[in-house]
A and B are shown apart, each in its own frame.
Chain A
Amino acid sequence: MRPTTRWAILFMGPPILLFTAIVVVPTAMALRLSFTDANILGQTSQWIGFDNFVEAFTNEHVRKSIRITLVWTLFGALIPPALGLGIAMMLQANTRFAAIMKSALFVPISISLVVVGQVWIWIYQPGDGLINQMLGLVGLESLEEAWLANRSTALWAVFIAWAWQQAVLAMILYLAGLTSIPGELVEAARVDGAGQFQVFRQVIVPLLRPITTVVLSLIAINSLRNFDLVFAMTQGGPVRETETMPMLVWRILFRQHEQGLASAVSLILFAMTLVVIGGLTWWGRRGSYVD
């Protein structure tokens, strides 16, 4: 055995054992569960092959939650990164003023989604909610709404609260990315006659591509596993209009007690995550100038 191999085992052995016990083995157990009809914890269960997956893809609630999760991920990949980049461009000057503004904007990303959910409920609620108060102030009482209880607005209401927080994550990463762009490149483009917008499109956006890949990956993961905010704000309601896949898994587990089906749905979500991340990684490599 090479001496470095011995050191490698010494270094990696204990953490890998813990990781295996807490992540790898349970994932394998979930895979096994997904092929059974397990429904009461600890009871013996029957092997039923792909029935849970067939059920998952034909059940209207599961299909709806897949749709909600995909729509969320798509808009999640568009709105928070765009907003975050906009704010980062606005605050990129190296001044004391910009630094103070940046620090203040760190707050939304450091607070819990329970707190985010709580305050956005107060913004959306009927009666003394902020939005309805503002509408009342400008004489638009007719537009007042119970935003989180209305089937057509609930999903977007929760999404906006989430995007409000995630845009800050994108901003933080883009700010770091912008400082790494050489000023000479921007200058050169200017000398060549490029306007503000052209510099942004032809120089800044392409150079930010590696950062964009990181931003999109993080936000995609957060979109796909979006449970906390939905749980804190609507628990999937009204009438399952905000039931994302993790929220649905929760419901199948703790209301219907069908562990087999819940495992199948959660593994479908895992597979979707791998596909999305794989796609983003491919996209990031394809456009990279380093290759």
Chain B
Amino acid sequence: MSTSTASLAADRAHSTVPEHGTGRRGRTLRRRAGMVLIAVFVALYLVPVAGVLATSLKTNAEIAERGIWALTGKLTLANYVDVWSTANTVRYLINSFQVAIPAVVVSIAGGTLIGYALAKFRPRGGTAIQLIIVSGLFVPPQVLLVPLFTMFRSFDLLNTLWPMILIHSAVGFSVCTLVMRNFFEQIPDSLRYAALIDGANEGEVFWRVMLPLARPALAALATLQFTFIWNDFLYPLVFTSARDDVATIMLGLLNVKGQFTVAYGTQASLAVIASIPTVAIFFVFQKHFVRGLLSGALKE
């Protein structure tokens, strides 16, 4: 992988040098100029991100006076202290983790079990099962809202965190099954047979031999699922709108945004706090994420 990229890069560097040649110094200069251009592009692309960060560090009084995008002023953490101590921020964060962690675990565990069974046990009707589960990817959430609302109400689960945990677990089976089935398809059956001959049963083969191999794909799915579940606000909006103490952080953020009395600096600092977990996870797992996702998304 690295060799091909390197030679590709070398190719490109070579072809950008004019035919009459300006020597090594010209090439270095061109590369430097290219880097500057790229850095400028990336900086411009990230202006919205910088905007949230900068706004979160300005006082509300100053934003009111000079406008949101003004480049002046002192930076302060006052908004963060404020948001952390007065609003329900901590409660929101705890709620979000209480939804995301179980739902990530259950969706990946279930998807892995289904994907493995489809790829290795090849049960009769497996194709149909796969088709139904993967079609879950294409069902718009709005299709499910009314029936689920009726269902959760009859179980008295409205205004609790259960609807989100259950929905995200089940809806997540679709993508997790797709990725894990494709992953286990690529692992030769001989590995499984060898372990079976050594006296292990199918459960042990799965747990001791196959699951450790799947670590990169599992990490990718964990990143994907956590981000998706953490950032969702549709289900909390429908199922928990009556009680602020069961709101997730995204719902809390949405509610704050709707209140015109809440100042920009406060909104921005809450937005930053809400984004830290997913941004951090992306940074940590980014290599896994790309590779794992592709290994699952592309067959063969």
By a CB distance below 8 angstroms, the chain A residues around B116 are 11
Report if A4 contacts B (CB, 8 A). yes
Q: Find the B residue at minimum CB distance from A172.
A: B290
A214 contacts which chain B residues (CB < 8 A)?
A: 294, 297-298
Contact (Cβ within 8 A) A108 B49: yes
B283 adjacent to A176 (CB under 8 Å): no
Nearest A residue to B55 via CB reads: A122
Residue A279 is within 8 A (CB to CB) of chain B in the complex: no
CB neighbours of B149 from chain A (8 A): 41
Within B34-54, the residues touching A (CB, 8 Å) are: 35, 38-39, 41-42, 45-49, 51-52
Instruction: Give how many A-B residue pairs fall within 8 Å (CB-CB).
Output: 289
Chain A residues near B289: list those with CB within 8 A.
172
Is B38 in contact with A112, judged by CB distance below 8 angstroms?
no
Q: A103-B283, A104-B46, A122-B55 are in contact. Are A14 and B203 (CB under 8 A)?
A: no
Is B138 in contact with A111, judged by CB distance below 8 angstroms? Answer: no
Answer whether A110 and B146 are a contact pair too, CB < 8 Å, given A22-B167, A179-B4. Answer: no
B1-15 CB contact bits vs A (8 Å, 1 = yes)?
A: 111111111011001
Report whether A111 and B173 are in contact in the complex, using a CB–CB cutoff of 8 Å.
no
Kindly list chain B residues whose C-beta atoms are within 8 Å of the C-beta of A246. Answer: 140-142
Instruction: Tell me the bound Cα distance from A104 to B53 in angstroms.
Output: 14
Are B8's CB and A183's CB within 8 A? yes
**Chain B minimum-CB-distance residue to A5:** B123
B274 an interface residue at 8 Å Cβ cutoff? Answer: yes
Chain B residue nearest in CB terms to A7: B202
Q: Tell whether, in the assembled complex, residue A115 and residue B143 are in contact, meaning their CB atoms are under 8 Å apart.
A: no
Cβ distance B11 to chain A, nearest Cβ, rounded Å: 6
In the complex, the answer to whether B279 meets A110 with C-beta atoms within 8 Å is yes
User: Residue A119 at the B interface, CB < 8 A?
Assistant: yes
User: Does B170 contact A19, Cβ atoms closer than 8 Å?
Assistant: yes
- Is A56 interfacial (CB-CB < 8 Å)? no
Alpha-carbon distance A221/B151, docked complex (angstroms): 26
Q: Quick one: given A92-B8, A92-B9, are A262 and B146 in contact (CB under 8 Å)?
A: yes
Which of A130-186 touch B at CB < 8 Å?
130, 133, 164, 172-173, 175-184, 186
Contact with A along B137-181 (1 / 0, CB 8 A): 111111111111111010000000000001101110110000000
Interface residue tally of chain B, by bracket? 35 or more
A3 CB contacts on chain B under 8 angstroms = 202
User: Does B281 reach chain A (CB closer than 8 Å)?
Assistant: yes
CA distance A110 to B5 in the complex (A): 26
Find the B residue at minimum CB distance from A278. B138
Within 8 A of B (CB), among A171-210: 172-173, 175-184, 186-187, 190, 196, 210
Cα-based distance from A181 to B5 in the complex (angstroms): 8
Chain B binder among A25-33, A47-55, A70-78: A25-33
Chain B positions within 8 Å of A211 at CB level: 294, 298
Please, which residue of chain A has its CB at the minimum distance from the CB of B9? A93
Considering only CB atoms, which chain A residue lies closest to B148 in the complex? A26
The A contact surface, by secondary structure, is: helix
Complex interface: chain A residues within 8 A of B4 (CB): 179, 181-184
Give the residue name and chain of the A residue nearest to B298 (CB): A210
- Are B254 and A232 interface neighbours, CB within 8 A? yes
Q: B294 to A114, Cβ gap below 8 A?
A: no
> Would you call A90 and B166 a contact (CB within 8 A)?
no
A115-B123 contact given A7-B203, A127-B67, CB 8 Å threshold: no
Question: Any chain A CB within 8 A of the CB of B211?
Answer: no
Interchain CB contact under 8 A, A94 and B132: no
In the complex, which of the residues A11, A123, A253 contacts B114, with contact meaning CB atoms closer than 8 Å?
A: A11
Q: Answer yes or no: A120 CB below 8 A from chain B CBs.
A: yes
Q: Mark A237-263, 1 if CB is under 8 A from B, else 0.
A: 000000001100110010000010011
Known: A15-B114, A122-B51, A221-B137. A7 touches B121 (CB 8 A): yes
Enumerate chain A interface residues (CB-CB to B < 8 A).
3-5, 7-12, 14-16, 18-19, 21-27, 29-30, 33, 38, 41-42, 87, 90-95, 97-98, 101-116, 118-120, 122-123, 127-130, 133, 164, 172-173, 175-184, 186-187, 190, 196, 210-211, 214, 221, 224-225, 227-228, 232, 245-246, 249-250, 253, 259, 262-263, 266-267, 269-270, 273-274, 277, 290
> 6 A-B residue contacts at CB 8 Å?
A11-B116, A19-B110, A25-B147, A98-B38, A114-B257, A181-B8
Q: List chain B positions with a Cβ less than 8 A from chain A.
A: 1-9, 11-12, 15, 35, 38-39, 41-42, 45-49, 51-52, 55, 67-70, 109-111, 113-114, 116-118, 121-124, 126, 129, 132-133, 135-151, 153, 166-167, 169-171, 173-174, 202-203, 206, 227, 230-234, 250, 253-254, 257, 264, 267-268, 271, 274-275, 278-279, 281-283, 286, 289-291, 293-294, 297-298, 300
Known: A22-B171, A98-B38, A232-B257. 10 other contacts (CB 8 A): A19-B110, A19-B170, A21-B170, A25-B147, A27-B143, A42-B153, A116-B48, A164-B45, A176-B291, A181-B8
